[in-house]
Structure 1
Amino acid sequence: MVFKRLLGSLGVGGPAVDTVLDPLSAVPGGTLSGQVNLKGGNADFTIDHISLELIARVEAEHDHGESEGTVVFHRIAVGGNFRLAEGEYRSIPFAFPLPWETPITELYGQQLGIVLGVRTELGVAGAKDKGDLDPLTVRPLPAQEAILEALGQLGFGFKSADLEYGRIRGTGQQLPFYQEIELTPAPAYAHQVNEIEVTFLAGPAGLEVVIEADKRGGFFSEGHDALSRHTVPHGDVHSRNWNAEVEAWIRQMVEHRTSYGSQNPHASNGAHGSHGLFGHGAPHVDKGHGHGDHHHGDGHGHRSGPGMGTVVAAGAAGVAVGVVGGLVAAEVVDEVGDFFEGDDEDEGDDDES
């Protein structure tokens, strides 16, 4: 058990904290549980509050290009208002629901390159200290997994996944950022599409699935983006022929003469290109979303060929270190670099009096 010493600025040995998350991966809208372990310092301290923050590494596009920062997207108090004696050990259990739009970080145990964390804030004697920081792993909901698996079966290639700061117009998006999963086209669509981007916006009733295709230009026409939106309930995941349904979504979008979304659907400006988190496009994945009519093929759930399990087998090559900037509509943490390798950030810089 590794405790992180806090509040050294008080001039005495402060308490130490170690937050331990339960080992099972969480899912969007599911319960995140664990315990905050405290070890008393060289004196008695009154613990005013213990809070947990969910933070995400997010990319932002602005007038000067792109930058990266970390955004707090959820905060909850899990304890406080007690006296921690000198040298005392105390454990505070917690359990709370994750936001439905929490990004997924893995698929079939393979990391997608999305960086999430849980940070513990301890309030003592009117001061705040952001101490323990732990990586957060989130696996997909059954509907998300089924759609991604179908995309893999259809031959689309996984390119990268990232979090984009901004909002998608016309959706029920709640968080100040959204997750994009970028795919290279299946061979059947390679002459029509440069890449496809899929975004899942989960809620209590189901998923909003937004698919954007970067369509290739023809000899007499320029390329443009095509946009498609679908709604998928949580309840009937195992009774649908996802391969046929997702293929119908993609075909309808890329073969339609008029773009569904020739204008950028995102609130932030800028192109949506690959960020190279994996460094290659070897995996194969296909993604789609339900919109109005659902097309079912023969049989249910029949799959053949490689799916998403083989698509992400290589894992993430890593996340590039960037500079905080351009994030204005949510609390932005003043931290740079890979915060899972740099726990010892400038503690106290974000404290508010």
Structure 2
Amino acid sequence: MVFKRLLGSIGIGGPTVDTVLSPGPVLPGATLTGEVRLHGGNGDVTVDITLELLARVEVEADGGEGHGDVVFDRYAVGEDLRLPGGEPLTVPFSLTLPWETPVTELYGQPLGIVLGVRTEVAVAGSRDKGDLDPLTVRPLPAQEAVLEAFGQLGFGFVSADLEYGRIGGTSQQLPFYQEIEISPAPRYAHALKEVEVTFLAAPHGMDVVLEADRRGHHHGGDALNRFPVAYEDVDRTDWNTVVGGWVERLVHAHAPYAGPGPSQHPGGHHEDHGHRSGPGTGAVVAAGAAGVAVGVAGGLVAAEVVDEVGDLFEDEDSEDSEGDGDSGGDGDSGGDDS
């Protein structure tokens, strides 16, 4: 996506900026490349350019729940750059994504996660933020192997969202985490209502955090476990057997919580994650001979998912054009915290 914006702080005749990301999805922890293309206005100026990674996350509070924008990383890609009046200036960039960057698609199908890059340009002490440029992130091979195993075992994709807060007992780095909700395979339907999968990736391996909403009087309630995975073991692991063992541990766990402990939110307590909201709801993942594949329920779900994500980015555009260009007030505070 390319956005073009007249820098509001300069006014009519000021410079314009286009930010272009290299095409195709990128992996968590990998390099994102692109260009910031500026064109000078009526006079010579000196500019600073900063890129922000922004995510739309679900926030729970005493008054209910909603969504907010969180800036989870910032990169200075140009400082004290001279932009001559009426002249073009192209600034290439190459930046490394955090390992915990959320996954936005699976096998080329969107999961409904809103993730983007926003460009901030400072001219003569005045800062102006552009619109969101959507960022597409596909899973790491280890993440894909785990999800494919769930599909082979008969589990189905329900939704994905980003939750603000931290999971206790883990090395989580970002101020939010991704939950991928899956429905139980038929043979586990008597014991499980749903399972939520969270990947906490790092340079050499990742933790797979599974939280299960269980049925029954003796083993009912939530069960949570953390399972370490080394990237070097991905190609030589029987993932169906490994993931099946994880599920058995969730089903037969005696304590309401096993493993690292409950999810910690800003209020310091564990929240019920059984609810789901956001544009990913309703998509279906079907298991087959080729593994997990994202499908469509009723023929309309995929279009609704894409449209809703698009609407969110359009909302950013309209807010920027009406205001001062900084539509991520919550995101700025989130970026400071991270």
Partner of 1:19: 19
Partner of 1:275: 276
Structure with the higher fraction of residues in helix conformation: 2
**One-letter identity of the residue aligned with 2:42:** N
Write out per-residue CA displacement over residues 279-322 of structure 1, whole angstroms, 9 at most, x where no aligned residue: 4364246xxxxxxxxxxxxxxxxxx636212457964733898x
**One-letter identity of the residue aligned with 2:30:** G
CA contact (8 A) 1:193 1:254 kept: yes
Structure with the higher fraction of residues in strand conformation: 2
Q: CA deviation at 1:92?
A: 0.5
Q: CA deviation at 1:212?
A: 0.5
Which consecutive unaligned segments of at least 5 residues does structure 1 have?
A: 286-303, 322-336
The answer to whether the aligner puts 1:317 opposite 2:294 as a matched pair is no
Identical aligned pairs, as a percentage? 57
**Is the alpha carbon distance of 1:11 and 1:119 closer, same or farther for their aligned partners in structure 2, counting shifts above 3 Å?**
closer
After the TM superposition, which residues 38-77 of structure 1 pair with which residues of structure 2 at under 5 Å, given as runs?
38-47=38-47, 49-77=48-76
The answer to whether the aligner puts 1:246 opposite 2:220 as a matched pair is no
Q: For 1:106 and 1:320, how far apart are their aligned partners in 2?
A: 15
Partner of 1:35: 35
CA contact (8 A) 1:17 1:132 kept: no
Partner of 2:137: 138
Partner of 1:230: 227
Which of 335, 338, 342 is the aligned partner of 2:312? 338
**Is the alpha carbon distance of 1:103 and 1:278 closer, same or farther for their aligned partners in structure 2, counting shifts above 3 Å?**
closer
Q: CA deviation at 1:10?
A: 3.3
Partner of 1:298: none
- SS of corresponding position for 1:80: strand
TM-score of the superposition, structure 1-length normalised? Answer: 0.83
- SS of corresponding position for 1:235: helix
Q: For 1:263 and 1:223, how far apart are their aligned partners in 2?
A: 19
Write out per-residue CA displacement over residues 3-33 of structure 1, whole angstroms, 9 at most, x where no aligned residue: 5233334344211111111113111110011
**Is the alpha carbon distance of 1:131 and 1:22 closer, same or farther for their aligned partners in structure 2, counting shifts above 3 Å?**
same
- SS of corresponding position for 1:244: helix
**Count of residues in Structure 1 that have an aligned counterpart in Structure 2:** 317
**RMSD, matched Cα:** 2.7
Q: For 1:312 and 1:232, how far apart are their aligned partners in 2?
A: 31
- SS of corresponding position for 1:59: strand
CA contact (8 A) 1:56 1:115 kept: yes
Which consecutive unaligned segments of at least 5 residues does structure 2 have?
A: 334-338
- SS of corresponding position for 2:60: strand
CA contact (8 A) 1:43 1:85 kept: yes
CA contact (8 A) 2:45 2:84 kept: yes
Partner of 1:189: 188
CA contact (8 A) 1:215 1:254 kept: yes
Q: For 1:94 and 1:249, how far apart are their aligned partners in 2?
A: 41
**Is the alpha carbon distance of 1:283 and 1:85 closer, same or farther for their aligned partners in structure 2, counting shifts above 3 Å?**
same
Q: CA deviation at 1:340?
A: 4.5
CA contact (8 A) 1:105 1:114 kept: yes
**One-letter identity of the residue aligned with 2:8:** G
